[in-house]
Amino acid sequence: MRGFVNPLRQERPSGFPQRAALIKSWTRRALQLGNDAVVSVNELACAQPGCPPRQSVILVMTEGASPIKLAIHKGLMDVVEADILAEIDAFRISQQ
Ligand SMILES: [Zn+2]
């Protein structure tokens, strides 16, 4: 099957797992999460008009609390710590 391209295979740029790990640690620090909290980071397609084609979705699961979902409308490689802090602020305001 030389030249076969699996259409389901997602292209991951080099540094992707490292970036995902960095985003997780920024999220943990910003939310002061304990070791029991689970943070998952995924890059998903985004179909919203005016958006980049990819969005980064951070899911935080802490025992005894509602899960927190943060969606940053940028590809995972473009997310910086300030994006996470802004999204956490927006989430907190929405919960008030
Ligand atoms: Zn989007």
Which range is least confidently modeled, 9-13, 26-30, 78-82?
9-13
Helix (H, G, I), strand (E, B) or coil at 72: strand
Full-model pTM:
0.84
The Å distance, Cα 78 to ligand 1 centre, comes to 13
The Å distance, Cα 36 to ligand 1 centre, comes to 30
Domain boundaries, the chain: 16-94
What CATH number labels 16-94? Answer: 3.30.160
Angle separating helix axes 16-31 and 81-95, nearest 10 degrees = 40
The Å distance, Cα 40 to ligand 1 centre, comes to 18
Band the pLDDT of 5: cuts 50, 70, 90: low
CA 2 to chain CA centroid, Å, is 34
Summarize pLDDT for 37-89 with one digit per residue, the tens.
999 999 999 989 999 899 999 999 998 889 999 999 999 999 999 999 999 99
Output 4 or 45, whichever has higher pLDDT. Answer: 45
